[in-house]
Amino acid sequence: MNRLLCFVWFLAASVAFAQDSKSEKKEKEVRIPAGVQHAQWDRLLKKHVDQRGLVNYAAWQRNPSDRAALDRYLTQYQRTGSAAAGNEKAASLANAYNAFTIRWILQNYPTESIWRTEEPFDVRRHRIGGELVSLSDIEKGTLIPAIGWKAHGVLVCAARSCPPLQRSAYNAGQFDAQVAAVYRIWLGRSDLNTFRPEQKRAEISSIFKWYKADYAKVGGPKPILKKYTPPTYRDFLTSADYEIKFKSYNWGLNDQDSRGRNYNRLNLYLDTLF
């Protein structure tokens, strides 16, 4: 048993080192074109995503028409010309990230996790505005600098512990309301965020830990929890007298099928290492 623990520790340290090395890569800002239409993406989400935010990848992959529709939708992002700004930019970036992620999974399906694919976040393989960009460019290079903590509720990296993928596209006119709605849905999911008033403890997503600098700009996670958590826990979360713990993150695929359900930490260590 001691040997196994040492082996796991070694793998964890190796992964941490590898991730630190990757983090040194500088993300670039993405120039998103104005005028992207999201109706086709909205239709695909309603067809292939369920109420819990899980994706029917198998059915989507078997449907050439819907795969072609996804490609056509993403082709809009290749345009050059005037750039989107404000909520139009934010909505298009969120939709682009989620749509490119799903297309990448479809290209590699079946898989147990996005980490079973080749460098999913840092390779510049997605074309926007006439250049190749990575998912990290969209997220860390562009959307987070634009809207801060709000970005972490709308981006879905195909993992079971992600905020649930919504069944509708983001749009400029409703973007702020959509962000509020997705935070309420995310924090209302007891499997993703658990509140224990009797123990004076909130067990929340590791996303709040990984991006603590973004949440610190609005006073940390507690104001967000108080604002968006279900009313049942509102009085409890009004008090400052509770501790925060972070849940282990499940990187198993957000698949309606069984894929990803048994994906564990050891799988993650091995996949990210090798």
Structure tokens at 244: 């925060």
Taking the whole predicted model, whether its pTM rises above 0.75 is answered as yes
Distance between CA atoms of residues 152 and 54, nearest Å: 18
Read off φ and ψ for residue 190, nearest 5 degrees.
-65, -20
Tell me the H-state helices in 76-218: 86-108, 135-138, 144-147, 151-154, 175-187, 207-210, 212-216
Helix (H) or strand (E) holding 244: strand 243-246
pLDDT of residue 240: 77
The token pair at 85 is 């700004």
Look at residue 22 in the predicted model and tell me its pLDDT: 46
d(CA 4, CA 175): 48
- Domain coordinates of the chain in residue numbers? 33-192+247-273
User: What per-residue confidence (pLDDT) applies to 23?
Assistant: 43
The pLDDT score that the predictor gives to residue 157 is 98
CB 146 within 8 A of CB 89: yes
With a cut of 70, which residues of the chain have pLDDT below it?
Answer: 1-24
Tokens standing for 119?
A: 């460098």
